[in-house]
Structure 1
């Protein structure tokens, strides 16, 4: 994808949008699938704990469903 930025302000806006996306929206595998902003502001532990709770509830629901179908 080729985009031409003819004015310095256009290029700066594109760079700012990229940095914002990279730091606040894109999950990083090396950071255990949280954003750099989550790590910086200390939200990563709470996010991982919440994901673990959801995972455990999902596994329990699947086990229950499997047991009900097997019976």
Structure 2
């Protein structure tokens, strides 16, 4: 096991290596403060509420359902907290371009509506 950070917090060597390769840091919640775990607990609740509604009888069916959910969550489902883009859009640095394009489309639409309203009022 490898030690990451201060104190007696340990994580598996493989995880430590993977995190280092991805230039990520292992972050832990504050001890005796369960509310700091709220985001991850909420995330765990989301797939449970969807995936566990179905029965998975075949080997690998549950794993496939989880994989499908995670793909949908990361690549298809827009997240309000991220400005209505996907986590993949943020991770792959596409969010700024997507949001700029949305602003451009909105401004063009408003301009066109104003022009139409002026011509109809005249």
* TM-score normalized with structure 2 length: 0.56
In the aligned structure 2, how far is the partner of 1:63 from the partner of 1:40?
37
* Equivalent residues, number: 71
Deviation readout 1:47-70 (Å, 9 max, x if unpaired): 000001100100000000000011
Of the two, which has the highest radius of gyration?
2
Tell me what 2:75 maps to: 24
Which segments of 5 or more consecutive residues in structure 2 lack a partner in the other structure? 1-49
Q: 5 Å matches for 1:44-59?
A: 44-59=95-110
In the aligned structure 1, how far is the partner of 2:81 from the partner of 2:54?
30
In the aligned structure 1, how far is the partner of 2:90 from the partner of 2:55?
34
- Greater relative contact order structure (CA < 8 Å, 6+ sep): 1
Q: Which has the higher helix share?
A: 1
Root-mean-square deviation (CA, aligned residues, Å) is: 1.2
Runs of 4+ aligned residues of structure 1 deviating over 2 Å after TM superposition are none
* TM-score normalized with structure 1 length: 0.95
Tell me what 1:15 maps to: 66
Q: CA deviation at 1:3?
A: 1.4
In the aligned structure 1, how far is the partner of 2:90 from the partner of 2:69?
18
